[in-house]
Amino acid sequence: MGVGMIANKFPGIRAATCENMAAVRCARAVNDANVLCLGQLVTSAEDGKVMMDEFLKHEFIARPNLGDGGDTPAPWWNENVEDFLKGSMEGIQRVEKDALNYASG
């Protein structure tokens, strides 16, 4: 958990600490995470490799599939979610810029 908290202190980093495949898919699809953090105590090396592969192939604003098999589409995903997410990065970048200006000034 801590590595994700530290990573997110750096501009442009959107780290997600994930413990299962559904979280990995949602981290990319919803949060546009660009860093995957895995807990050594809860994730085996083999599971970590599979989770990283999934993280790298999933895209932002792409309906995530839930469940271990990845075959159950997220029931809450709809056009409103996609529309919201399309504008979310602009808002996040604005908040990051304001935070950096505040911290330096």
CA dist 85 and 79 (Å) reads: 10
* Distances in whole angstroms, Cα of residue 70 to Cα of each of 54, 73, 94: 10, 8, 34
pLDDT score, position 82:
85
Ramachandran quadrant class, 77 (left: phi over 0; alpha: psi -120 to 50; beta: rest): beta
pLDDT score, position 91:
73
Q: What is the pLDDT along the chain (105 residues), one digit of tens a residue?
A: 788 999 999 988 999 999 998 899 989 988 899 999 998 888 999 999 999 999 998 888 888 887 666 677 788 888 888 888 888 777 777 777 877 787 777
* Distances in whole angstroms, Cα of residue 15 to Cα of each of 11, 70, 105: 11, 22, 26
CA dist 7 and 80 (Å) reads: 30
